[in-house]
Structure 1
Amino acid sequence: MSLSGKISTELPVQATAEKWFHTVRNQLHHIQHVSGDVHGAGLDQGDDWRANDSVKHWTYTVDGRVETCHERIESVDEQKKRIAFKIFGEAIDAKYKVYKLIFEAIEKDDGSGAIKWSVEYEKVISHPSPHYLIPYLSYLFLQIFTMSLAGKLSTELPVHATAEKWFHTYTNQLHHIQHVTHKIHGAKLHQGDDWHANDSVKHWTYIVDGKTVTCHEAIESVDEQKKRIVFKLYGEDVDNKYKVLKLIFEAIEKGDGSAAIKWSVEYEKVSEDVHPPYGYLEFCDHCIKDVDAYLIKAEENANK
């Protein structure tokens, strides 16, 4: 029995082949925020997700098991809308000498589109089967272009400051955040005289996706026990893309005494042409790092 082979599957899709190719080519790192089955993805080598010499590390659940691997782009054919990914390391190398995932976005003659995933492999021994990954990939990537206009994205990062200190900052010192991170260019009270009252409205100017954005914000709810705050964003630039846009802050105390900050983005787009607000996740990641550094420095200065 041959240890090498190729399997593939093709599925019709409603989004265009061009949009699919653009997403997999340029926004692959966003998959971790779309699917609950992808637990993490990061650059292990290089600084550009799209570069062929960059290596990414993935953690995901497939067939009920958590697995990890490395991945890099082997080739890109813009004309054929085809990308070949080389998968290696960790659990993969224990079963396969060669493991490649090949993505193709296909334009049909009748104007419809289809997505084809193929696996080219060479097994170490005869019994492993690579078939399990095909339906998983098909399901995973179909989540990107769901017909629903509403959705939720989230990001979580470990922090050095305590969850209590983080929650205190956002419930009592929200106006200071503009002085801590370069992503925020300005913030002021637009209505009311208390930054932390639910009926107060603030005006923010900040950077998302490299562009200056302005909006109004109001606190929708605060849960002291869960250290959770829901912020409603609306008006000006936000209303051009979203009927609903909420940022949900959570300061999480881990069992080992450490802490993490989770930001979630709940949204409803005004149309299918609007992309999910991935840029807000990147904005939140930057803010987490900047605020954490500020809190640690403030604690060090207080202890001098």
Structure 2
Amino acid sequence: MGLKGKLTAQIEIKAGGDVFHGLLSETPQQLPNISPNVIQGCDLHEGKWGTVGSVYIWKFIHDGKQKVGKDILEASDKEKRALTFNMIEGDLLELYKVFKIDFHVETHHGIDLVTWTLDYEKLKDEVEEPLTFLGALINLSKDIESYHLKAK
């Protein structure tokens, strides 16, 4: 098996793609209130929310344990409703040499689809694929949708 990999998940949402992109790019510090079982905290370490080059510190639950990650916002495209985070420090880098999270929203025939893509490079062959992390992102998407649909 190779050390490099890519996992992608796509989920239909009814809350609207602009809501998702706005929340993840401009106000991710709200996520612990929306999805406390996934996100425990998000702090701006450097820069400005939603600005390329900004550094975020995330506290999250992965495989039942609290973890920490420091990400740099590598790309942001409001028109395409897309973000790319590159992990530069944290617990996941004990297993992965590279760990990037891409997020974007597409609209097909009036249906908004949230797509999460993980690009990673494992440090060792025996490291598992980050399927449970991808599952957590799907759960985060569902929590965001539920929260915003209730707010309407």
Same fold (TM over 0.5): yes
Following the alignment from structure 2 to structure 1, what is the Cα–Cα distance between the partners of residues 90 and 18? 33
Per-residue deviation, 1:234: 2.7
Q: Which residue of 2 aligns with 1:205?
A: 59
AA of the residue aligned to 2:98: V
Per-residue deviation, 1:241: 0.7
Q: Alignment RMSD, CA only?
A: 1.4
Match for 2:31 among 155, 166, 177? 177
Following the alignment from structure 2 to structure 1, what is the Cα–Cα distance between the partners of residues 8 and 140? 14
Per-residue deviation, 1:224: 2.9
Q: Which residue of 2 aligns with 1:151?
A: 5
Structure with larger Rg: 1
Per-residue deviation, 1:151: 0.6
CA deviation profile, 1:227-279 (whole Å, cap 9, x unmatched):
21111123121221111101111111121x12111111110011112111111
Asked whether the equivalents of residues 152 and 267 of structure 1 are also in contact (C-alpha less than 8 Å), the reply is: yes
> Structure 1 residue 220 and structure 2 residue 74: aligned?
yes
CA deviation profile, 1:5-40 (whole Å, cap 9, x unmatched):
xxxxxxxxxxxxxxxxxxxxxxxxxxxxxxxxxxxx
Match for 1:281 among 130, 134, 147? 134
Q: Which residue of 2 aligns with 1:293?
A: 146
Q: Which residue of 1 aligns with 2:119?
A: 266
AA of the residue aligned to 2:66: T
Q: Which residue of 2 aligns with 1:191?
A: 46
Percent of pairs identical after alignment? Answer: 27
- TM-score, normalised by the number of residues in structure 2: 0.92
If asked which structure has higher relative contact order (CA below 8 Å, sep 6+), I would say 2
Asked whether the equivalents of residues 229 and 250 of structure 1 are also in contact (C-alpha less than 8 Å), the reply is: yes
Gaps spanning 5+ residues in structure 2: where?
none
Aligned length: 151
- TM-score, normalised by the number of residues in structure 1: 0.48
Following the alignment from structure 1 to structure 2, what is the Cα–Cα distance between the partners of residues 286 and 227? 19
Q: Which residue of 2 aligns with 1:245?
A: 99
Following the alignment from structure 2 to structure 1, what is the Cα–Cα distance between the partners of residues 78 and 24? 12
Which moves more between the two structures, 174-183 or 284-293? 174-183
